[in-house]
Amino acid sequence: MNRENPLEVRPTPNRKEKIVFLSVPESLRGPVDPVSPAGEGFTIDPAIPIPVELAPGAEVLDVEELSWEMILAGMIRVVAEDPEGMNALYYRRFVMAVKPNILTEFTTAALLKARNGDYALALEIIGLLEGLFPGLPALLLNRALILEEQAHARAELTGVEDLAYKAYQAVLDLHPPFPQGIFNAGFFFMKRRNFEEARECFQTYLQLGDEPEKQEQAALMLEEIQNHNLDDAMFREAYDCIREDRAAQGIVEIGNFLERYPHVWNGWFLLGWGLRKLGRWHDGIGAFRKAIELGGDTSDTRNELAICLMESGDWAGARKELETALWEEPENVKIISNLGILARKSGNLQEAAGFFRTVLELDPQDPVAQAYFKG
């Protein structure tokens, strides 16, 4: 059996039914011939059974087909399901002795799956690694980054942003602190417009971080928050109200904020977002244009403005805004999807199909694109 072949990671809905335990074959007993220093001194214990993952669709094990891949996959699954279970430490040592580069290989695979829109498998791979390396800061951060990317790509998927938030909280709870995770958490909170927590992250990173470029970025973010009073309690309350579908109350809160700070573009963006949620398209257009005028010329602002223009009947204006936003973020699924919706509203079904095909290439599980082709 060749230990150097890459392990394939595949989803297994009924994992426990896919694992069988074997007595250690005579051919495997004794010290492991190490392929790296991680395997030195490791001896296979004949008293500890070996978990084996069956081939897809198989109900019983064909011993003639037994491979290192099946053995290692079985161990990884068992440890992931019960990190504190009997023999978990032994199985971890076994895997590391035989496959010392598994952390790099699986992490690369997870990030590639996330980049291709297969977030479920990406998170499953991270979960397997967390069983092998419990509490490893880099894995906690990768889980948070994948959930953040999923939340950004699928804004309509309920609860994903909250999962990303919890994942970042787990990173922030690490002891000793993990500066790289704190830095990324700051930008996550900036995107959520949770500027109070973003400020705390960037202040902490300035104290703990040692990368000059990131120190400079953190300082710039702090300056933006402080100069525009973005950590003001009224702003946070307005954001929470609008996000939680209490848009009418949120509009009142952000209105009070803008009376004090009329030149803060984030405030006008938040006002436009609340107005858009209430279907007040023309008022939303005015708010988003004010945000752009004051410096908020971002793809998110133009995408939101385009929705208001589309719903108010200005299809040409909406297309212009979406194309401008797409120039900034050429793989933003929400923008491409809105171009598809606009093309469909305009009666150009062939063009709409092209946009939705692109969406599915970037995110095969996108519900809007899937619904278009099913319809």
Per-residue pLDDT of 252-279, as tens digits, reads 999 999 999 999 999 999 999 999 999 9
Report pLDDT for 62: 74
What per-residue confidence (pLDDT) applies to 30?
61
Give Cα 164 distance to the centre of its chain: 7
- Domain 134-227 and domain 232-330, same fold? Reply is yes
| Residue 31 β-bridge partners | 43
- Asked if pLDDT for residue 131 goes beyond 60, the answer is yes
Average pLDDT for 187-199: 91
From residue 152, give the alpha-carbon distance in Å to each of 84, 125, 145, 235, 335: 34, 20, 11, 21, 11
pLDDT at 37 over 70: no
pLDDT at 16 over 50: no
Residue 38 has pLDDT above 70, yes or no: no
What is the average pLDDT score of the chain?
Answer: 88
Alpha carbons 96 and 78: distance in angstroms, whole number? 15
- For 45-49, what is the mean pLDDT? 90
Distance separating alpha carbons of residues 214 and 217, to the nearest angstrom: 5
Q: Which of 37-46, 122-131, 212-221, 300-309 has the lowest mean pLDDT?
A: 37-46
Whole-number Cα distances in Å, 300 to 97, 218, 266, 285: 47, 22, 11, 13
Would you place residue 34 in the very low, low, confident or very high pLDDT band (cuts 50, 70, 90)?
low
What residue ranges do the domains of the chain occupy?
Answer: 15-98, 134-227, 232-330, 331-375
pTM to 2 decimals? Answer: 0.76
Domain 232-330 has CATH 1.25.40.10: yes
User: Could you tell me if 227 and 246 are in contact, meaning their C-beta atoms sit under 8 angstroms apart?
Assistant: no
Instruction: Output the CATH code of domain 134-227.
Output: 1.25.40.10
Report the pLDDT averaged over residues 150-166. 78
The answer, yes or no, to whether residue 203 has pLDDT greater than 80, is yes
Does the pLDDT at position 115 exceed 90?
A: no
Q: What's the one-letter identity of residue 237? A: E
**Cα end-to-end span (Å), the chain:** 49
* Range list of H helices, the chain: 68-81, 88-98, 102-115, 119-132, 137-153, 160-172, 179-191, 195-208, 212-227, 233-243, 247-260, 265-277, 281-293, 299-311, 315-328, 333-345, 349-362, 367-374
